[in-house]
């Protein structure tokens, strides 16, 4: 399932939509137009909401869970002679890999889930993020 989620610029609420090709995308809450969704392939050429061309990849990974797993690994060190650390780090990494990537627009912050793209998105770059700070 492909979804776009973002904070609506008009009603300020966080909304999620399932876009259909060649249709307008509208906020389900206040019906404000977010832009035009052209096709699945074009979505990462230009953001359908703000026509921005830069995106970054993030993970829907629960940081607290990751810390908890590593915390267990550290607690068990005296009984496992330190072997628990690499084992738990591995579990952590496995969990991280299983989490699907979410692609985010730098400018408007829209989150794109479930899209397959041949592009290789980089994680968030601070210096690029700064450029778009004024739009947020």
> Footprint of Zn ion on residues 37-66 (CB under 5 A)?
47, 49-50, 52
Tokens, residue 116: 């397959």
Sign of CA dihedral 102, 107, 108, 109: positive
Would you give the DSSP letter of residue 61?
Answer: -
Considering only 29, 33, 39, 80, the residue that binds Zn ion (CB under 5 A) is: 29
Q: In sequence order, what E strands does the chain have?
A: 3-7, 14-17, 23-26, 33-37, 55-59, 101-105, 111-113
Residue 43 or 108: the one with the smaller Cβ distance to Zn ion is: 108
Q: Does 10 bind Zn ion (CB under 5 A)?
A: yes
Considering only 4, 8, 103, 104, the residue that binds Zn ion (CB under 5 A) is: 8
Q: Does 33 bind Zn ion (CB under 5 A)?
A: no
Q: Does 11 bind Zn ion (CB under 5 A)?
A: yes
- The minimum distance between CB 96 and Zn ion, in angstroms, equals 26
Burial class for 22, CB neighbours closer than 10 Å (0-12, 13-18, 19+): exposed
> Footprint of Zn ion on residues 97-136 (CB under 5 A)?
105, 107-108, 110
Residue 23 or 29: the one with the smaller Cβ distance to Zn ion is: 29
Location of structure tokens 């809450």: 29
Would you give the DSSP letter of residue 114?
Answer: S
Footprint on this chain of Zn ion (rule: CB under 5 A): 8, 10-11, 27, 29-30, 32, 47, 49-50, 52, 105, 107-108, 110
């Amino acid at each position: 399932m492909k979804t776009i989620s973002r904070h609506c610029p008009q009603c300020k609420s966080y909304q999620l939509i399932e876009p259909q090709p060649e249709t307008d995308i509208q906020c389900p809450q206040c019906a404000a137009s977010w832009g035009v969704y052209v096709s699945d392939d074009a979505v990462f050429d230009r953001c359908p909401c703000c026509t921005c061309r830069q995106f970054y990849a993030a993970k829907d990974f629960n940081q607290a869970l990751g810390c908890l797993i590593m915390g267990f690994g550290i607690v068990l060190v005296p009984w496992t002679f330190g072997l628990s650390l690499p084992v738990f780090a591995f579990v952590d990494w496995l969990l991280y890999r299983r989490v699907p990537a979410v692609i985010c627009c730098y400018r408007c912050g829209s989150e794109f889930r479930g899209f397959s793209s041949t592009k290789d998105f980089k994680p968030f770059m601070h210096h690029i993020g700064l450029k778009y700070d004024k739009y947020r």
